[in-house]
A and B are shown apart, each in its own frame.
Chain A
Amino acid sequence: DQQVKQNSPSLSVQEGRISILNCDYTNSMFDYFLWYKKYPAEGPTFLISISSIKDKNEDGRFTVFLNKSAKHLSLHIVPSQPGDSAVYFCAASFTGGFKTIFGAGTRLFVKA
């Protein structure tokens, strides 16, 4: 039973355009959501997060949107750059962060 789902295994976007990565979750008890980025042969690195009491968080080119009623999370990257090509993991945590559930990941390709 996957509590955090990333239904698109891959996404291809032209450089300069917007990349939108989506994530759905099933457990309404999650109170914190995160996005991690992973390059080949490296561990995931934290990208951006959002608390369940907010609906938007922005950091430079990266914006995360949270729709609690739909149990849906999205990451927007504007403008997309070739260096953004990586696997992106959506993650959801319960209070305290000890238990974090990760999605299967979406591989983003940004074409020059």
Chain B
Amino acid sequence: DVKVTQSSRYLVKRTGEKVFLECVQDMDHENMFWYRQDPGLGLRLIYFSYDVKMKEKGDIPEGYSVSREKKERFSLILESASTNQTSMYLCASTRRGYEQYFGPGTRLTVT
């Protein structure tokens, strides 16, 4: 079974803090994704990566950056957290590119 793990289930940060969200997958998948899920908006793609050190912007990259130094690990960075970044963050991975395997999510609250 594919396993995608995320470093925290719940996180509370203050406005202006730098926030790191980490994601690890154990199936040697090439492609990894970061989404945020908000009520009424579904899942929106922030960034994705199709190889180590490669990254592409998704639909809402503003205020975020990513890092992929190892194939199994994909990190999402909030350089200076703001209250409008309070959300559920979901990491996913895939080999073929269609069916994605998701982690359990990190609920981030920025106060």
Number of interchain pairs (Cβ within 8 Å)? 59
Q: Is the CB of B104 within 8 A of A43?
A: yes
Whether, in the assembled complex, A100 has its beta carbon less than 8 Å from a beta carbon of chain B, the answer is yes
* Contact count band on A: 20 to 34
Query: Per DSSP, are chain B's interface residues mostly helix, strand or loop, or mixed?
Result: strand
Which of A6, A9, A91, A100 has most chain B Cβ within 10 Å? Answer: A100
Give the complex CA separation of A32 and B2 in angstroms. 22
Q: Is the CB of A46 within 8 A of B101?
A: yes
What are 19 residue pairs bridging A and B, where the CB atoms are less than 8 Å apart in the complex? A6-B42, A36-B102, A41-B104, A42-B105, A43-B104, A44-B102, A45-B102, A46-B99, A89-B42, A89-B43, A91-B43, A93-B97, A97-B31, A97-B94, A97-B100, A98-B56, A99-B58, A100-B45, A102-B44
In the bound complex, residues from chain A placing their C-beta under 8 Å from that of B35 are: 102
List 8 other contacts, CB 8 Å, given A32-B98, A44-B90.
A43-B105, A46-B99, A89-B42, A97-B98, A98-B50, A99-B58, A102-B42, A102-B44
